[in-house]
Amino acid sequence: MMDVSNGYFVISLDFEIHWGVFDKKSVAEYKENLENVKLVIPRLLELADKYNIKLTFATVGFLFAENKQELTSHNPKLLPNYTDLNFSPYNKLDSIGENETEDEFHYASRLIDLIKQTKKHEIGTHTYSHYYCLEDGQTKEEFEADLIAAISLAAKKGISIKSIVFPRNQVNTNYLDICSKHGITSYRGIETHKIYNTLDRNFNKKQSTRALRLIDSYLNLTGHNTYKLENLNTISGLTNIPSSTFLRPYSKKLSMFDSLKISRVKNGMTHAAKHKELFHLWWHPHNFGKHIEDNFKGLEEIFIHYKILNNNFNFNNVTMEKLASLV
């Protein structure tokens, strides 16, 4: 039975390093952000510990590999046949290093071990290859092959995958039965407000859409994007745990508005706590790789606010897997 005597706070992180941006930016173009992930993850774990917060790390499957041999030996039987060849990371495998020591941008086995050792946080999947479920050319069979690869490489580390975050938030509801078949119980959906619609590919790409989303991070344009637990949908066996908001990285240009951004998050959390709803916050560890201090300062404010809401309203922080089990 679902417990609706309190609201819930979920945090998911799309853990991907260069695999999340390989089709947009080279390592050199985004180096500071990417190389500092190795500092961001331990610090995140430490801060989470201080406030007793449980995180869900939706992790790209490639990152689990100890070395290139292990990575290539787990490659799916069917590779994604994107019409736009740029979306496939497989032709880039030749250029990556042999292991994490040599190439911290494409491997993260030790960081994953660090997360796992805490025995607190959830490690979910962000697919094996940062797979784009709505792009032209790829098929459901190719998606399944990718998912099997992600699950089997995680299993080598003793990690059982229960949650999925779809890369670029390309939720393809036709693929949910495949996820369910392989033991996944939840996914992160998109906000219900139409400006967050990633399904309409053209609308999603528009400059004006991006501008609206940016403004919405500072000023309340779309409401709190919180959800009543009894309204969470379970589709093909997976619980949709929709996003409330993306935690934008600290921006020097917008620094004078940064407190507005943090307040916007805190107001959403308060709304969820008071109305016994879900607030789901997400970002990427590499977002914190630049302006590390400012980003962590904002996050700590959010965690302190969680503590207050936890005390006053029994607002409860759980992983995605745990929330799905409650619904």
Q: Which stretch binds Zn ion (CB under 5 A): 19-27, 85-93, 134-142, 217-225?
A: 19-27
Residue ranges in 160-219 that form contacts with Zn ion under rule CB under 5 A:
167
Q: Which is nearer to Zn ion, 167 or 189 (CB)?
A: 167
Q: Which is nearer to Zn ion, 20 or 249 (CB)?
A: 20
What sign does the dihedral 223-201-131-109 (CA atoms) show? negative
Half-sphere exposure of 155 (CA within 13 A, CB side): 9
Q: Which helix (H) or strand (E) covers residue 42, if one does?
A: helix 37-50
**CA 65/CA 69 separation, integer angstroms:** 8
Residue ranges of E strands in 126-247: 163-164, 186-187, 227-228, 234-235, 238-240, 245-246
What sign does the dihedral 74-78-82-86 (CA atoms) show? positive
Residue ranges in 81-110 that form contacts with Zn ion under rule CB under 5 A:
none
Q: Which is nearer to Zn ion, 16 or 216 (CB)?
A: 16
Is 298 one of the binding residues for Zn ion (CB under 5 A)?
Answer: no
> Site size for Zn ion, by CB under 5 A?
4
Residue ranges in 142-171 that form contacts with Zn ion under rule CB under 5 A:
167
Question: In the complex, what is the shortest distance from the CB of residue 205 to Zn ion, in angstroms, rounded to a whole number?
Answer: 16
Q: Which is nearer to Zn ion, 14 or 104 (CB)?
A: 14
Q: Which stretch binds Zn ion (CB under 5 A): 10-18, 136-144, 213-221, 233-241?
A: 10-18
Is 14 one of the binding residues for Zn ion (CB under 5 A)?
Answer: yes
Is 20 one of the binding residues for Zn ion (CB under 5 A)?
Answer: yes
* 169-190 exposure pattern, b = at least 16 Cβ within 10 A, e = fewer: bbbbeebbebbbebebbbbbbb
The residue ranges that bind Zn ion (CB under 5 A) are: 14, 16, 20, 167
